[in-house]
Structure 1
Amino acid sequence: MLTRRLLPTHRLAAPSTFLRTLTTTQAFQNAQSRSPSLADITPDGAASFDAKLQNFRAKVAAAQRQRGQQASASLDKDPSKRKGAFSSLIYGTKEGQQMDKEIELSFSQVLARGKYVHSIVFHEVKPDKVDEYVELVGNWYPRMAGMEENKVNLVGSWRTEVGDCDTFVHIWEYQRYTGYHSSLHNISQHPDFPAFDKKLKTLITAKKTSLMQEFSFWPTTSPRSLGGLFELRSYTLHPGNLLEWETHWRRGLKARREVMEGVGAWFVQIGELNTVHHLWQFADLEERKLRRERSWSVEGWGDTVHKTVPLIQTMRSRILIPMPWSPVQ
């Protein structure tokens, strides 16, 4: 029941806010009890989605450049950190190194893999209790995520519209496993938790939780509001194939990202083992279809599919709609 890197959406204009920080209450003040649905999406929203996406990516790039400039300034102040001419010949020019660094920051924050633990929670809600569930969770989750002492961030909350209908999906972020334990303990000690937990149990038929880590080459997005819908693709791999999967997807993501917008990718460490979750965002179902088809024209994608399909036991696709309080919209 806990969460992730969440910056209020109104702060995204400042490049520095693209660093992961704890959630603030501002991002969750407008939670509503009405459950959204596919019917809220119109077929003419692709242009608006693309414009918001380009704006979001521009801000991310600006934040990366700012960090690069700060790193360069630090080197200028401390000559002992500079490498010699021979090193430049071997490892490339300063400009080339900076370009490589920006590419790496875009797709592969290596240290992120061990810095955060994510949980993915599935609630199967009774069909006649959906509105009550939305009201209950829509008030409780933002409240818990907004309390700094809980040290937990909500990545997002969604309702399944195609797939396991009336199943709600929540992804939370913690500071390693110590943060996970700390968050669970703090929230369980809240005076209102027993009432929340008791009520929740009357609204759902099942609850499933797995603990995951994000792939090092695909850090989870910061909060944003692009609109549209999401697709959660879940893969059960043959045991022992996770490293090979990561190797191929590290190359394939660059091709996919040219035509599709990823939200995050995680592999389960505790729970449904050998499971990988990829989360994508699209303007609508037609755009999803077109962009997936367009992927095949991008060099490298066909090879990724050819090499990853044999690694898969089962796969599942869910179409999700974000909840009003979800930081990623």
Structure 2
Amino acid sequence: MFKGPSQNLTISLLKPTGSRAISVQSLLHGSPDAKQARELETLQHSRLVGRGKYIHGFETHRVKADKTEEYRRAAERYYTGIKDDPELKVKLTGSWETLVGDQDTFFHILEYENYGGFDKTTRLLKTSKHAEAFKAMLPFITNRSLQLNQEFAFLPSAPPHAQGGIFELRTYQLMPGKLLEWENAWRRGIEARRKYVSPIGAWFSQIGSLHQVHHLWQFENLEKRRDTREQAWQIDGWATTVSKTSQLAKSMDCSILSPLSFSPLK
């Protein structure tokens, strides 16, 4: 499998030297060949499970508690401005404020025409008329982050609509190398759950915090959310899906979001 010096590795490396022992596996795991194999595996998984047509930027802004009203006005000016500018070719999927979870936190999803579209839009924004609107938001923000995500192939994001209610954003931190397993298990279970509710969108991270999966749901209210989740446990296959996917995740997070007035999804 390995050429050159790696062929000279022998079983003697497994024998203790003093109080310490070295394994062949530990040496190979950190080798350039092993790292390249893991990167290739990740790329192959992304191609298998991803839709590939768009890249979604998840922008998170943490805002000063006494400046949320000013932030909302500034954010509306900026995000409506860029989505309505045909030269930028960027779509605003939605904008929300956290009700349950990290307080005074705002969340925006932007859709780009793959990485080339993201590069072009980012470059144009720096010198466009929208640069001033962006700067107007900054005094109200204490921290901001950006993560680029790809849609799961079997579940494109929902088109703009105004159904009302609340949104639930669930984030799972997967163990490295488990994305394909996750997608296989979750895709089968979600078909059953569609009897009661369908996700608004589902994504996996590409740049930023890695090995993360997100999915977004919409409910009339928290009580309806509870009822729907209880109904899901009566569906054949859902319990198996939850059991399998939970074994692939290191941690899970849930936030309840309220759409902002200018959000295309609300």
Asked if Structure 1 and Structure 2 have the same fold, meaning a TM-score greater than 0.5 normalized by the shorter chain, the answer is yes
Cα deviation for residue 260 of structure 1 reads 1.8
Matched, 1:150 2:88: yes
Look up the match of 1:160.
Answer: 98
Look up the match of 1:126.
Answer: 64
Look up the match of 2:153.
Answer: 216
Look up the match of 2:217.
Answer: 280
Look up the match of 1:135.
Answer: 73
Q: Partners in 1 of 2:54 and 2:255 — Cα distance?
A: 25
Whether the 8 Å contact between 1:112 and 1:219 is mirrored in structure 2 is no
Matches within 5 A, 1:181-260: 181-193=119-131, 195-260=132-197
Whether the 8 Å contact between 2:90 and 2:112 is mirrored in structure 1 is yes
Residue identity matched to 1:245: W
Q: Partners in 2 of 1:256 and 1:172 — Cα distance?
A: 27
Determine helix, strand or coil for the equivalent of 1:328: coil
Look up the match of 2:17.
Answer: none
| TM-score, structure 1 normalization | 0.65
Gaps of 5+ in 1: 1-109
Determine helix, strand or coil for the equivalent of 1:210: strand
Matches within 5 A, 1:161-180: 161-180=99-118
Q: Partners in 1 of 2:245 and 2:69 — Cα distance?
A: 40
Whether the 8 Å contact between 1:160 and 1:318 is mirrored in structure 2 is yes
Q: Partners in 2 of 1:112 and 1:245 — Cα distance?
A: 13
Look up the match of 1:267.
Answer: 204
Q: Which has the higher helix share?
A: 1
Show CA shifts across 1:134-187 (max 9, x none): 000111111110111100000000000100011000001010100001111112
Q: Partners in 2 of 1:315 and 1:112 — Cα distance?
A: 21
Q: Partners in 2 of 1:172 and 1:202 — Cα distance?
A: 22
User: Across the two proteins, how many residue pairs are aligned to each other?
Assistant: 219
Instruction: Choose 1 or 2 for highest CA Rg.
Output: 2
Whether the 8 Å contact between 2:148 and 2:208 is mirrored in structure 1 is yes
Cα deviation for residue 255 of structure 1 reads 1.2
Q: Partners in 1 of 2:60 and 2:126 — Cα distance?
A: 19
Q: Partners in 2 of 1:211 and 1:236 — Cα distance?
A: 15
Determine helix, strand or coil for the equivalent of 2:52: helix
Whether the 8 Å contact between 2:77 and 2:133 is mirrored in structure 1 is no
Whether the 8 Å contact between 2:49 and 2:183 is mirrored in structure 1 is no
Whether the 8 Å contact between 2:185 and 2:241 is mirrored in structure 1 is yes
Q: Partners in 1 of 2:79 and 2:159 — Cα distance?
A: 18
Determine helix, strand or coil for the equivalent of 1:246: helix
Cα deviation for residue 192 of structure 1 reads 4.4
1:299 pairs, out of 227, 233, 236, with 236
| TM-score, structure 2 normalization | 0.80
Residue identity matched to 1:142: T
Q: Partners in 2 of 1:111 and 1:239 — Cα distance?
A: 15
1:253/1:111 CA distance change after superposition, 3 Å: closer
Give the RMSD, CA atoms, in angstroms: 1.3
Cα deviation for residue 259 of structure 1 reads 1.2
Whether the 8 Å contact between 2:82 and 2:130 is mirrored in structure 1 is no
1:322 pairs, out of 236, 250, 259, with 259
Residue identity matched to 2:92: L
Residue identity matched to 2:185: H
Show CA shifts across 1:42-65 (max 9, x none): xxxxxxxxxxxxxxxxxxxxxxxx
Q: Partners in 1 of 2:169 and 2:205 — Cα distance?
A: 14
1:284/1:272 CA distance change after superposition, 3 Å: same
Residue identity matched to 1:136: A
Cα deviation for residue 112 of structure 1 reads 7.1
Q: Partners in 1 of 2:130 and 2:62 — Cα distance?
A: 23
Matches within 5 A, 1:27-66: none
